[in-house]
Structure 1
Amino acid sequence: MEIAIATNSDYGYLKEHDHHILQSLILHKIKRNEIYILRDENENNIGWMRYGYFWDNTPFMNMIWVDEQNRGQGLGKQVVLYWEEEMKHRGFKLVMTSTLANEGAQHFYRKLGYRDSGCLLLENEPLEIILTKKIM
């Protein structure tokens, strides 16, 4: 698997598959180098990881996705660890993410060393668990 910074040529793939972001923001995130694309050995896009900044100063992983046929191979773990190293090299000491309490992703993040750090409860939504990890 290859992990690469998304480029404008990845826009069509992201627009088609990432339904958790306004389409108008995808190019903005690409321009800011805030999306990593996962590619298989044939250079086909098979997933992505997108992030931003909480409080404008703490890297926050907004979304990680691996196409269903490529799951269970450790690709998600690889991209998270890659991102953490990138953030560490940029001088950050803490990263964040979140997941809904009714999603299994919380267990994935805890296995990678993320710790529960709070929650957010929005009307008519499941509890959102906030997770952090020190990367010093």
Structure 2
Amino acid sequence: MTIEITPAVPADLEALARLDGHIPPHRLAHKIAQGEILTARQDGQIIGWLRWGYFWDEIPFMNLLYVLEAYRRQGTAARLAAAWEAQMQEQGARQVLTSTLSNEDAQHLYRKWGYQDCGALLLPGEPLEILLRKDLPAPA
């Protein structure tokens, strides 16, 4: 099956609100309106998404990359990340950031994709959060 990577649209709000319990629906709606969510779709259904914001209102920061379990290990996360990185590069970004908990396997994927550790954050009662950075080439 073909997987399409597309920006989220207002009609996606209900599905994303059901799937992504990390932020409230009104924030999801704002991110959709700002063009800060990419979706991966198979047969029109959302099977993964990537949402972002801006660190210091300047550096693109990937807040969440998620692929539904049944669709993992098929390259969907890599395609979402690559599409986001390309979009950020086209908009003039020279680097992107993300983070992951130290006890999550995602850190290994990010390093495989060229991200480098650049710091950490330790909140009370939480595992260490690893910050990762990837330099982007200048737009052609």
Query: Which TM-score applies when normalising by structure 1?
Result: 0.97
Q: Which residue of 2 aligns with 1:108?
A: 109
Q: Which residue of 2 aligns with 1:84?
A: 85
Q: Which residue of 1 aligns with 2:35?
A: 33
* Deviation of the 1:73 alpha carbon: 0.2
**Runs (5+) with no aligned partner, structure 1:** none
* Deviation of the 1:28 alpha carbon: 0.4
What are the Cα deviations for residues 10-60 of structure 1, in whole angstroms up to 9, with x where unaligned? 0011100101112220100000000011101x1111111000000000000
C-alpha distance in 1 between matches for 2:118 and 2:24: 27
Q: Tell me the number of residue pairs that the alignment of Structure 1 and Structure 2 aligns.
A: 135
C-alpha distance in 2 between matches for 1:129 and 1:55: 18
**Which deviates further from its counterpart, 15-24 or 76-85?**
15-24
Q: Which residue of 2 aligns with 1:15?
A: 17
Q: Which residue of 2 aligns with 1:94?
A: 95
- The secondary structure found in structure 1 opposite 2:28 is helix
Does structure 1 retain, via aligned residues, the 8 Å contact 2:100–2:130? yes
What are the Cα deviations for residues 88-127 of structure 1, in whole angstroms up to 9, with x where unaligned? 0111100000000000000000000000000000000000
C-alpha distance in 1 between matches for 2:39 and 2:81: 12
C-alpha distance in 2 between matches for 1:105 and 1:47: 15
C-alpha distance in 2 between matches for 1:122 and 1:30: 29
- The secondary structure found in structure 1 opposite 2:74 is coil
| Amino acid corresponding to residue 30 of structure 1 in structure 2 | I
Q: Which residue of 2 aligns with 1:58?
A: 59
Does structure 1 retain, via aligned residues, the 8 Å contact 2:13–2:25? no
C-alpha distance in 2 between matches for 1:83 and 1:113: 14
C-alpha distance in 1 between matches for 2:65 and 2:14: 17
RMSD: 0.6
- The secondary structure found in structure 2 opposite 1:79 is helix
Using the aligned pairs only, state the percent identity: 47
Q: Would you identify which runs of 4 or more consecutive aligned residues in structure 1 move more than 6 Å?
A: none
C-alpha distance in 1 between matches for 2:76 and 2:26: 27
C-alpha distance in 2 between matches for 1:103 and 1:14: 22
